[in-house]
Structure 1
Amino acid sequence: MDVLHKICNPHGQVLRIVIFKKNGVQAMVEFDSLDAATRARENLNGADIYAGCCTLKIDFAKPEKLNVYKNETDTSWDYTLSTGEIQPIKEIGNGRSPLLQEPLYAK
């Protein structure tokens, strides 16, 4: 969840994220505007989250709003309901270098 928020947030305000396991791992990210979602798709599609792996394939989804019934760190989060303030992160470049230099969590 944190990884997706970290790489998506520079392109626009992330409202909700839902992660599910279907043919690997898939996720849906809801932005505050179509412009933000378009920027994210243009800048992140085909990018690797880590060097040589976790390549993003981004398409627009049919639902315009994600339903998050409960904030759960592994599957879904509604940032509009979060009581904690989301910390800003540094913007990433438009190059095709990895989006994150190392995993956020140690094994």
Structure 2
Amino acid sequence: MKSQIPLSRLLLSCLLMLSLSACSRKENIRLPVEREKFVKAYADVAALDNQFQPGTPQRDSLFAARVDSVLHANGLTREQFQKTINVLNASPQAWEPILKDVLRKLQEKQKAAKGN
């Protein structure tokens, strides 16, 4: 019985260390593009998405062209943008800080638009 107590403590310690390292890894995920560049592009695409009515015939081709233009203006290709989304989707907890920054960017855009 005595040998099980230290073993269980050791296992508990190992589990705690693994969970802590997993938490730190989620924030240090390596993105294919610069984080700030992706955040700005994602915010721009989200704002663009809000401008177009879903389900209208012209949305698909016009929206795709506008997205490509927004990505190009942010120095990204559609492939780089999608690859970054795929990396984030593989580690969903990594989306949280990204989306907080995207929301901040969208709020800044909204304030700037109201100021003009």
Q: Which has the higher helix share?
A: 2
Would you say same fold, with TM above 0.5?
Answer: no
TM-score (norm 1): 0.29
Q: Which has the higher strand share?
A: 1
